[in-house]
Amino acid sequence: MDKRALRKVLLEARQSIAPKIWQAKSHQLCDQLRSSALFTRSQTILAYFSIRQEPDLSALFTAKKTWGFPRCIGKSLVWQSWCPQASLPLQAGAFGILEPHPDSTVIEADQVDLLLVPAIACDERGYRLGYGGGFYDRLLAAPGWAQKATIGIVFDDAYLSQLPHDLWDQPLTAICTETRLCFTPHTL
């Protein structure tokens, strides 16, 4: 199955999860992350606000970390700080995804310890299937970002043995689901 067809099938399956089950799986996934050494030793973590029933990481956002979230600017992601007590409100971005206010502090690559990367699916080799815009692949290929620890975030049903991938696809350090955290062959 090619990426487009696989993306459609997996998105439909994820969006058919009952809300209570989705929330329970999201909480279990957050528990997996909290117990991970990658998470506990990280001070500045980049994350995302859930859309289309992606695993919801909001239970983590009260942890005493510096949290960064993406703003889409053109074809790039700019990371800015946000916390639940932020005085600057979140706003809907270009794709309807919540983003930090433009006046929020920018987080540069050298400040980042860990990226929690959204995905439609991930495989055992560390490749992810995203929404097709290439935002994360461009980011992770850029100088300063290539060696950052990355964890792909998916539910068990979307953790596959192998995904189709292209030359520009950037593998991740680990994959976290509601039942496990698995390091990939590309581990730092």
Amino acid at 35: S
Q: Are 151 and 92 in contact (CB under 8 A)?
A: no
* Torsion angle of the four alpha carbons 8, 54, 163, 142, in this order, in degrees rounded to the nearest 10: 120
* CB burial of residue 82 (10 Å; 0-12, 13-18, 19+): buried
Residues of the chain with pLDDT under 50: none
Q: What is the pLDDT of residue 112?
A: 98
Cβ count within 10 A of residue 78: 17
Q: What is the pLDDT of residue 188?
A: 52
CATH code of domain 3-77+109-183: 3.40.50.10420
Three-state DSSP string of 61-110:
CCCCCEEEEEEEECCEEEEEECCCCCCCCCEECCCCCEECCCCCCECCHH
Q: Is the pTM of this model over 0.75?
A: yes
Q: What is the pLDDT of residue 132?
A: 86
Domain map of the chain by residue range? 3-77+109-183
